[in-house]
Amino acid sequence: MGSIGVPGIHYNLKGTGRMFIRNGPPIELKPHTLIVVPPHSPFRIETAPAPGHTSTLRSVEGRLHATTTGMLRRVVAGDTVPEILLICGFFNAIYGSSTDLFATLGGPIVEQFDETDRLEATLRTALAELVEQEIGCGAMSAALLKQVIVMILRRSLTSVNLWVERFAMLSDPQIARAFAEMALHPGADHTVLSLAQSACLSRSAFMARFSALVGQPPMVILRDLRMRQAARQLNAHQMSVDQIAHAAGYDSRSSFVRAFRKIFDCEPTEYRERAAAGQSSAAICLVD
């Protein structure tokens, strides 16, 4: 599917497969998997024949153009019973008067829900409203999709994934501005003073407000962001350890290795070997 200038939401109703966003690694699709795709991100969905079948993979390419609110499209790959079925949509989510929650999303949000979350029922109801095209269907479907976004935000209170930090900051726009600088450019030469200046606060006020909101000092959070970036790059196997250390803002490999070992309790090379063997944890707890 070609890209569009707003984020997309994709919920897997049944079947298994994989989604590839841009040139990123495959994302496993299982029932109740929800993925939010960043704006301007082409993607593709793949599924293979059932075990024992010899039929070739069928595919269809859909290129997205300008969309109209309430427009409904059905895209089908192949001419047999679908092996995977998803509800997909595109949306804007505005916080306050101007803050677009997902406009600067650098990577996909991937969360696994289940039947008890009732997310599927809400999405099916929204889809039915669009299909039936009765009076007020646009307002009804929009209200239902708002419920879905709220459920995603609530998930941010318990999820261990990196995307959740952007929502924890919403209650303090000045701290959110400084955190955005850290999250978007973790390898930059940040200091407490430079971050305080980006928040338009004094050094002491910034330290107090950041620590109270996030629960940890800014430089600890910056270190964790750098290590998460390093872990993703190690998993990708496209950069050397020295290159990853430099991208994380470290002048020497030894200082990077010490910081990495403190977080993951192993050397970067060992972490990469575990990832290659499929033994690295999908969820990593970051500690002091």
Q: Which range among 176-180, 228-232, 238-242 has the greatest average pLDDT? A: 238-242
Give every strand in the sheet of 43-46, ordered side by side: 27-29, 17-21, 43-46
Predicted local distance difference test score (pLDDT) of residue 189? 92
Q: How far apart are CA 168 and CA 39, in angstroms?
A: 21
Asked if residues 36 and 100 have their Cβ atoms less than 8 Å apart, the reply is: no
Give the type of residue at 151: M
Segment 55-70, tens digit of pLDDT: 555 555 555 544 555 5
Rounded CA-CA distance 188/224 in Å is 14
Averaged pLDDT, 129-138: 72
Q: Report whether pLDDT(210) > 70.
A: yes
The pLDDT value given to residue 258: 93
Over residues 218-239, the mean pLDDT reads 87
Whole-number average pLDDT of the chain: 78
> What pLDDT does residue 116 have?
80
Of 256, 202, 260, give the one whose Cα is nearest residue 228. Answer: 260
Both tokens of residue 217?
């000092």
In percent, how much of the chain has pLDDT > 70?
76
Query: Residue 28: CB partners within 8 Å, gap ≥ 6?
Result: 16, 18
Give the torsion sign (CA, 235, 280, 284, 257). Answer: negative
Round to whole Å and give the CA distance between 20 and 194: 37
pLDDT in tens, 161-191: 655 555 655 567 788 788 878 877 889 999 9
The runs of H, that is alpha helices, within 106-191 are 119-132, 137-155, 165-168, 173-184
Kindly report the pTM of this predicted structure: 0.53
Average pLDDT over residues 187-212: 93
Confidence of residue 240 (pLDDT cuts 50, 70, 90): very high
In Å, the largest CA–CA distance within the chain is 66
For 116-125, how does the pLDDT look when each residue is reduced to its tens digit (9 = 90+)?
A: 877 788 877 8
Cβ neighbours of residue 178 closer than 8 Å, sequence gap 6 or more? 195, 196, 198, 199, 206, 210, 218
pLDDT attached to residue 283: 29
**How far lies 284's CA from each of 42, 48, 60, in Å?**
28, 30, 36
Q: How confident is the model at residue 286 (pLDDT cuts 50, 70, 90)?
A: very low
Complete domains list, the chain, with CATH:
8-159 (2.60.120), 169-215 (1.10.10), 220-276 (1.10.10.60)
Stronger pLDDT, 52 or 78, i.e. the higher one:
78
- 90 vs 9: CA distance, rounded Å: 6
Q: What's the mean pLDDT in 25-48?
A: 88
pLDDT reading at 228 higher than 90: no
% pLDDT > 90, the chain: 21
pLDDT of the residue at 39? 87
* 262-276: average pLDDT: 87
Counted residue by residue, the chain has a size of 288
Q: What is the pLDDT of residue 70?
A: 59
Residues 65, 118: Cα–Cα separation, whole Å: 31
